[in-house]
Amino acid sequence: MQTQVDILMVEDKPEDHILTVFALLNAESNKIHVVRDGEEALSYIFCENAYADRNVEDQPRMILLDRNLRMVSGLEVLRRIREDPRTQSIPVVMLSASERESDLAEAYRLGVNSYVVKPTDSSEFKQAVRMIAAYWLHLNRSSSMGVGAN
C-alpha cells in the first residue's frame, strides 16, 4: 500500500516532468508521485485500476496539473476533482503552456486554486515550481475539515 504523497504531478512531457522533479529534489519532504496523462490521474485520485489498493482518503496535499494532457484533458480532471466531495478541497495548481484568456477563465470557473504559465527558460521553470511548492505545502493553511488538509 502506498503512503501519502505531498504532490501529485500530472505531466505528459518528459522534459517538464524531469525539470519539475529536479526542482523539488532539494525541497523539504516533498514526496512526489507522477502520472503521465489525465486518465491515469483520475485512476490515482479515485483509487481505480492500477491504484485500486489506495485509500481515497489518502490524497496528495496538492496537485500540479498540466492543462493539455493525452486521454483526458487537465480541465476534465479538474472538473471531476471538484465534483466529488472526497476530493474537492485538494489544492490544484494548473501549470500550463497556454496563456489564452479563455483557458485561464475556464480553469478558474472549474475551481482551480492557481494557474501558472510555464516559463520557457529552464531556470525560471524550476524556480516557479519551487515557489509553488513552498506556498502550497508550507505557507498555505488548509482547513482540517477538508480532504487533503494538513
If one counts the domains in the chain, the total is 1
**Can you count the helices (H) and strands (E) in the chain?**
5, 5
pTM value is: 0.86
Rounded to the nearest 5°, which phi and psi values hold at 36? -105, -5
Query: Residue 145: inside a domain, yes or no?
Result: no
Query: Residue 31: inside a domain, yes or no?
Result: yes
Which residue, among 105, 43, 112, has the nearest Cα to 71 in the 3D structure?
43
8 Å CB contact between 56 and 65: no
Query: Residue 144: inside a domain, yes or no?
Result: no
Query: Residue 132: inside a domain, yes or no?
Result: yes
- What was the pLDDT predicted at 113? 95
CATH classification at residue 55: 3.40.50.2300
Range of the domain at 86: 7-139
- What was the pLDDT predicted at 136? 84
Using one digit for the tens of pLDDT, what is the confidence trace for 91-123?
Answer: 999 988 889 999 999 999 999 999 999 888 888
Query: Residue 149: inside a domain, yes or no?
Result: no
Which letter does DSSP use for residue 4 in this model? Answer: P
